[in-house]
Structure 1
Amino acid sequence: MEEKQNNAIYDLHERPPFFSLVGLSLQHLFSMFGATILVPLLVGLNPGVALFSSGVGTLIHLLTTRGKVPAYMGSSFAFIIPMASMMKTTGYPAVGQGVVAVGAVYLIIALIVAKVGSAWIDKIFPPAVVGPVILVIGLSLAATAAQSATQLNGKYDIKVFLVAGATLLVTIICNMYLGGFLGLIPVLLGIAFGYLLAMAMGLVDLSPVASAHWLAWPKFDFLFSGGHGTSLTFYPVAVLTMAPLVLVTLSEHLGHLLVLSKITGQDFFQDPGLNKTLAGDGAASVVAGLIGGPAVTSYGENIGVMQLSRVYSVWVIGGAAVLAAGFAFIGKLSALIGTVPGAVTGGVGMMLYGVIAAAGLQVIVDNHVDYGQKRNLMIAGPVMVVGIGNYSLSLGSQVTFSGVAIATVLGIVLNLVLPEKAKSDR
C-alpha cells in the first residue's frame, strides 16, 4: 500500500472495501456507544433516540463540512445537570428548547467566524498551547477509564481489574502483531475478547437482550408537538441555562479539531474552515433537540480509534453513523452493545485516551517547544494541572465549566498576555 505523508492506512477520502468498511465502522460504534447512551440514561431521555441523533448528527456534520472532517458526534456530557433538572420539573419541551438553543448559538458563532475569518487561530493556539491542551484532553479522561477498569458499583473488584487489564493487553497485542485487516481493528478485537472474558466471569447481564424486541421504534419526542401531545410552551430558563454552556463545548470543539488536524496532517481550520465545523455541530444539535435527543459534540474516543488504527476515512465515520442510526431501530442489537461492561470500556479507554495525550506530546516534540524558556513553562504547567485535575468552575447548581474548558481558556489567555521573555532571563 502506498505510504502517505501522515502514515494513513486509509486517508480522509479513501473508501475501504465493503467488509473492511463495516468492521472499521463497528469499531467506532462500539467505542462511542457506552458514553452516547449513558447521557440519556442519566438525564431521563430515550437512549434509542440519542443513538439515532448521534448517527444522524454525524451525517449532518459530514455534509456540512463537505465530507472533509472525520468527526463522530455523540451525546454531550456538558449539559447533563441542566437537562436532568429540567426533565424532573418541566419535561422534554424545555430540554428540547435548550438543546435547539445550543445549536443555534453554534450557528451564530459560525456566521461570525465566517465574517471575521480564522487567522486568529494561529495566534491564540501556538504549539506551546496546542501541545498541553491536547495532552489534557486525553489525560483528563484517565480517571474515568481507571475507575471503570477497577470498580463495580463503586467498589473495587478484582474481576473488573483482570478483565480491563486483559482487554488492554489484547488491544496492544493486536495493534502490534497483527497485519492486514485484523491489524486495523485492534479496539474491536480487544472489546470482543474482553466481553467474552467478562461473560465468563459473570460480569455481563444478558437479561436486557432477552427482554428487548428485535424491532423497536425509538420514542421520539418531537419538539413542535409540545411534548406528548401537549401545547407548546416557551421556557426561557431552558435557553438561558443551556446556551451559555456552549463556551464549554466550544473549547472542546477547538481542542478536538486541533487533535484531528494533528493526526491527519490536515488543517481543518483552513479547509473546510472553522465556520463549517461549528455549523456542523450546531445543525446536529438543532436536529437532536427537535426529535428528543441530547445535544451532541465530537467524541475523543473516536479520535483515539483513528490515532490507533491510522484510518482517517470519512467513509468509515459515515458508516459508523449509518450503523448507529440503524441500530436505534433494532432493539436486541442495541441492547447487546449496551451490555458491554465498564471493565471492557475502561480497558480500551486506557489506550484510546492515552494515544490522544501522546498526540499532544508529539506536537511539543515536533515543534521543538523549549521548556527551558520560562514562558512555555508558565503556560504548560497550569494548563496541565488545571485540566488533568479537573479544576472545574460551578456557577449555581446547573452551570459547570470543566477543567478541560478552563485549561484551554487559561492557555489562550497566558499565551496572549505573557511577554516573550521573563525579566530574569534577560
Structure 2
Amino acid sequence: MRNIVTYMAEEQRTFAESPFNPVDSLVFSTLAYFNYETAPPIDLSSPEGILLHDAVMLSDWKALTAHSWMEDAKDTEAFLHVLSASRRMRDVRVSFYVNERSEAVEKQFSAITLSFPSADGIVAYLAFRGTDGSFAGWKEDFNLCFKKVIPSQCTAAAYLSGVASALSCPLIVGGHSKGGNLAEYAALVTDERAFERLRGVFNHDGPSFLDSPSPRIDDERFCRLLHKTVPESSAFGMILERRADYRVVQSSAMSVFQHEPFTWLTESDDFVYQDALNPSAVFFDEALDTWLRSKTADERERFIDAIYDLLASTEASTWSEFQEKLFANTRRMLGARTKLDAETKRFIWQTLGSLGGILKNETVKRFKPSPPLWLPRRRETYDPEKGTKA
C-alpha cells in the first residue's frame, strides 16, 4: 500500500516542478519529530540554516528519532533512506529549531522551519512537533480539556511571529497531533501582517479548542487556508472538534494506531479519502463529548491531575520507561502505597465509572433495535436551553 514513504520514493519532481501538496505537509510534519540537536554541531539558529539532507546524514539515526512514535515505527528506517535520496527534498533547508520542555509549567514544545524553492520563489513551512513520549507532553495535551490556552500554544504564536519577522517569504504552518493544534492556534492569533503571508494551515489529526481562540476562526480567509485531515478511526484529532470541514483519510492500521502518519494511504500527490469517519470513531467521539460536557472544567482538571499524579508516583518520566516495568508500575499506581488520599481515589473511580456508564448507554442506543414501522414514533422536539432533544 502507498504511504508517505512510497510517495517520497516515487515523487522525484522538485517543488518548482510540482506544487506543494497535503502529502508533503504530512512529510514535513513528520520531520518536526527529529531531534536535530543530536547531529554534530550545526547552526540552526540563522535564517539560512543548513540542508535537511546534511542534518539527516550527519546524525545518528537512532538518536535522531528517539523519544517519539518514530522510535518504534516499522517504516522509520525506510523513511530516512528515501528522504536521504529524494530529489524533491534535496534543496530543503532547516532553520530556527526550537526544543523546550518544562515539567514545572507542564510544557513540551518543539518546532522547525523548512524552507524550499517553489516556482514562485522560496516558501517556508513552520512545522510544529506533536506530543513526544514524555508524561509532561501528554499532560499538556490533556490540559486542553479544561484550559483555554496551554503554554505551547503561546510559544507557537511567538514562534510564528519571530519567524515571520526574520523571513520575508510566504509561510505555511502545520503539524501532526498536538502540532496541528499549535499550527491552527498560531495562525488564528497572529497579527494581520503575518496572517496575510500564510499560504496554508495544516492540522493532521490534531485536537481542536475548548473555546475559539479568535474570531478569525469563522473568517472565510482562514477557512480557505485550513486543511484538517484525520484518519478514518480518529480519536485524538476529533477531541473538542465542532466543525465539519475536515477530510477523512484511509489508513492501513486499526483503531488508535491510525494516528501514526506512516499508516495514512496516499495516491499520486494526495491522500486516499473516504466520505465519513468509521462508525466506531463516531461512537467514541459522541461518548467522549457527552462525558466532557457532563463534567465541569474544575472536575476535568482535578481528574487529569489525579491521573498524572498516579503516573508520577511510579517515578517514570516517559511512556517507554513506564512500559519497561509495566507490571510493577501498574501495581504501584493502583496499590495501597500510592500517594493519593482516599477521597481522590474515590473521585477517580467515580469519574471513570461515569465514563463507563456513558459508553454503556451509547452502546445500548446504537444497537437497540428499531421499533416496527407500524408502531407510532414519539415526536421529538428540540430544547434550545438544554441543547438536547426532548
Which of the pair has the greater relative contact order for Cα pairs under 8 Å at 6+ separation?
Answer: 1
Structure number with the higher helix fraction is 1
Q: Same fold (TM over 0.5)?
A: no
Give the TM-score of the pair, scaled to structure 1.
0.21
Q: What is the TM-score normalised by the length of structure 2? A: 0.22
